[in-house]
Amino acid sequence: MPEKLSHLLFILSFICLGLFLLLGFSPLYDIYLNKIGQRPFSVLLVLTISVFFLSVFVLKKVQNWQSGFHVLFSIVITLFLSAVLAIIVFFGRLFS
């Protein structure tokens, strides 16, 4: 079971990265902000942090090296992305 979950977290980390790139470099940010009213980077930050903590939890249960690599790579991606998103969310509100 942890092997399947590690593959899912690996895919979810790339989905978070893709959403960040899509929202950051396309007009979807303004469309989302106007329709929903919530800042999309805040929602993406919560999703990224939840994937990070799930990856750390699954890392304890992984037994083969391939799944371990997927989980470690997911941790690195989500940690970097959550740091960037935290800077954008918290310091971006100071300037708006």
pLDDT tens profile 9-49: 999 999 999 989 988 888 877 777 777 777 888 889 999 99
Residue 30 vs residues 25, 37, 60, 71, 96: alpha-carbon distances, Å: 11, 10, 40, 33, 14
Residue 68 pLDDT = 87
pLDDT above 90 (res 84)? yes
37 sits in the region (left: phi over 0; alpha: psi -120 to 50; else beta) called left
Residue 96 pLDDT = 59
- Determine the angle formed by the axes of helices 2-24 and 40-59, rounding to 10 degrees: 160
Give the mean pLDDT of 56-70. 88
Query: What domain range includes position 79?
Result: 2-95
d(CA 60, CA 63): 9
pTM of the model: 0.86
Total structural domains in the chain? 1
pLDDT above 80 (res 7)? yes
Residue 12 pLDDT = 94
